[in-house]
């Protein structure tokens, strides 16, 4: 008696999905802003794995890294590759796409851009600083119209009055022929409440600016999707 022939395995692919739900077709018809994170990730992945579509793989990634954790901007190659069906190749595609997006968002235009409001400073810095896992302190040197002339990364890894010296910041402003200074740093925790060290440093920078005749405009704290202006909170008065 012959053994019953095994039924061929039916592979699930995006082609089996209705056209109206396929990520690429939705991108074409509605534009990228209308797609969910999972749909965008599915397009980056390109293909699925055995028995699972790229959309299902993308949903796994969102559930793992963005389901309340908000870690899509901090993807690590090793932990992505451990998700069943992802592997190193697809993980590399994801990490590269995230980094490219961060660089494009943080790219400075050729012309000076206005930093006359905290919202504009946040728009410049948030895309790259919100996901830093260590503290980064930057100085934004501006002209008389509060347009960006130069950005300088001053310190990485911590923020204390001992390592951030007003003379070093204002020396950079003088070299760039700047008229004013805005400083900013991120809080990896996502919390934007200023620490005592933040307030003390701000006061020192205000006093130094008065002596040198360079306007100190603001000290910004960048969190994960949030920011705080010490000027708006009254610390500069």
Whether domain 118-229 has CATH 3.40.140.10: the reply is yes
This prediction's pTM: 0.61
Domain ranges of the chain: 14-106, 118-229
**What is the 3-class SS of the chain, one letter each residue?**
CCCCCCCCCCCCCHHHCCHHHCHHHHHHHHCHHHCCHHHHHHHHHCCCECCECHHHHHHHHHHHHCCCCCCHHHCCHHHHHCCCCCHHHHHHHHHHHHHHHHHHHHCCCCCCCECCCHHHHHHHHHHHHCCCCCCEEEEEEECCCCEEEEEEEEEECCCCCCCCCHHHHHHHHHHCCCCEEEEEEECCCCCCCCCHHHHHHHHHHHHHHHHHCCEEEEEEEECCCCEEECCCCCCCC
Confidence category of residue 155, pLDDT binned at 50, 70, 90: confident
Whether pLDDT at 116 is above 70: yes
Look over the chain and give the mean of its residue pLDDT values, rounded to a whole number.
Answer: 83
Mean pLDDT, rounded, for 121-131: 90
């Amino acid at each position: 008696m012959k053994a019953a022939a095994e039924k061929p395995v039916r592979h699930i692919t995006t082609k089996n999905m209705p056209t109206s739900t396929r990520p690429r077709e939705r991108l074409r018809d509605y534009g990228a802003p209308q797609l969910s994170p999972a749909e965008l990730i599915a397009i980056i992945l390109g293909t699925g794995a055995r028995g699972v579509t790229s959309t299902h793989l993308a949903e796994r990634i969102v559930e793992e890294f963005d389901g309340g954790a908000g870690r899509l901007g901090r993807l690590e190659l090793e932990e992505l590759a451990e998700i069943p069906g992802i592997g190193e190749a697809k993980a590399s595609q994801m990490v590269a796409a995230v980094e490219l997006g961060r660089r494009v968002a943080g790219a400075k235009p050729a012309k000076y851009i206005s930093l006359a409001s905290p919202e504009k400073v946040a728009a410049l810095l948030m895309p790259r600083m919100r996901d830093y896992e260590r503290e980064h302190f930057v100085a934004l040197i501006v002209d008389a119209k509060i347009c960006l002339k130069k950005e300088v990364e001053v310190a990485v890894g911590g923020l204390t009055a001992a390592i951030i010296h007003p003379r070093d910041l204002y020396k950079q402003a003088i070299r760039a022929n700047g008229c004013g200074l805005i400083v900013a740093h991120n809080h990896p925790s996502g919390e934007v409440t200023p620490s005592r060290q933040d307030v003390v440093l701000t006061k020192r920078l205000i006093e130094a600016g008065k002596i040198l005749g360079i306007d100190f405009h603001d000290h910004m704290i960048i969190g994960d999707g949030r920011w705080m202006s010490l000027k708006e909170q009254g610390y500069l008065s």
